[in-house]
Amino acid sequence: MTSSERGIKFRQRQQERQIALLADNETLRQQVLRLQATRDMYSHKSLSTPSSIGGASPMRFVMEYFHQFRAGLSVPGAPASVLSSDKQKAFLGALIEPHTTIRGKPAAELILGIWERYTLFHSSVKLTCESAELITADNCASVVVHGTLHLRYSRRTIENIYPHAAADEDLIQKLIGRQLHVHYRARMHFNGRGRLEAYEMAPDFVGALMEVLGSLRDCERILGRALIRGHALGEEPEPEVENMEPVEILPDSDAEDEAPSSNCATVEQEETPPASSRAMKLDYILS
C-alpha cells in the first residue's frame, strides 16, 4: 500500500469517527432535553389540575408535541419514523382547548394542515427542540421553545412554495437536494386547565436560505413572491404585504448609513419607500 493510499484510508477513518461523534453528541443533547423537561415537569407540578389530561404539565405536553411531529405528519410516502396520523390527531385533541381557533380555523385542523404541507412539500422533515422555558403567571403558563426545523428541498418544494422561480433553473439548482436549517422561536400558551389555547411560531427562512444561497439578491429572488404566510406553507402572504412595491437592493457603499441587518424584518410605513433604503421585503413573509 502506497503512502497516498494510507493517507486516504486515514482520512476516511477520521471522517467516520467525526460523524460518529456528532451523532453521539446529538443523542446526548436530546437526552439532556428530555431530562430537563422531566425536571421542569416535577418542579412545576402545581400547575397541573385534576381536569388536565392525564395530569400532564404544560412542559410535558410541549415536549410530547415535538416528539409527535419530529418527522412531520403521517402521509402517504412518509418515512416509517413518522407516527400514525390517528395518534397525532388524538394527541392534539388532548392538547388543545376545545373550540380554540387560529386565524379563524379550528386549531387542531390548522396545525395538522401545516404539518401535512411541510411533509408533502419536502423530501424530508426533522423538527428539533434545542431549549424550552416555562413561564408562569397566575394559573396560566407559557412555554417558549427555540429549535431548528431541518427541511430538505426538492422540486416539489419549488413548485408549491416558490412557483414564481420555477423557470429560474440556475437558482433552483442551488436549492434542490439541499437541507435548510430553519431556526425558529415558538410560544405555546396554556390555560389553568393545562390546555393549549394559543400557539405562535416564527421561523427564520431568510437566515436559512442565506446559509445555502449566500446572496441577499438570490434570497430576494426566491422569497419575493413565496407562498408563505407566517410558518404556513402554500398560502398567500398577508394582503397588505402582498401589495408592497419591490425594493431595490443597493450596493453597501450607496446605503451604508441606512443598511439594516439582513436578519431584521422591516416594513416601510410610507406609500413609496425611499430609493436609497436597503429595507428589504425578505422578512415580511414571516410577520
Boundaries of every domain in the chain: 1-35, 239-287
Cell of 14: 477520521
Q: In this model, does residue 183 exceed pLDDT 80?
A: yes
Torsion angle, alpha carbons of 49, 50, 53, 56, to 10: 50
Please state, as a whole number, how many other Cβ atoms lie within 10 Å of the Cβ of residue 213. 17
pLDDT higher than 80, residue 276: no
pLDDT tier, 284 (very low <50, low <70, confident <90, very high otherwise): very low
What pLDDT does residue 235 have? 79
Model confidence band, residue 30 (pLDDT cutoffs 50, 70, 90): confident
Name residue 159's beta-bridge partners: none
Residue 8 CA from chain centroid, whole number: 38
Distance CA 224, CA 242 (A): 9
Residues 210-231: what's their mean pLDDT?
91
pLDDT at position 182: 96
Give me the amino acid identity at 31.
Q
pLDDT band, very low/low/confident/very high, at 55 (cuts 50, 70, 90): very low
Backbone angles phi, psi at 241, to 5 degrees: -80, -35
Question: pTM value?
Answer: 0.63
* Local structure of 96: helix, strand or coil: strand
Paired sense of beta strands 179-190 and 196-203, if any: antiparallel
Q: Give the pLDDT confidence of 58-85 residue by residue, as tens digits.
A: 888 899 999 989 998 876 655 555 556 7
- How far is the C-alpha of 106 from the C-alpha of 73, rounded, in Å? 17
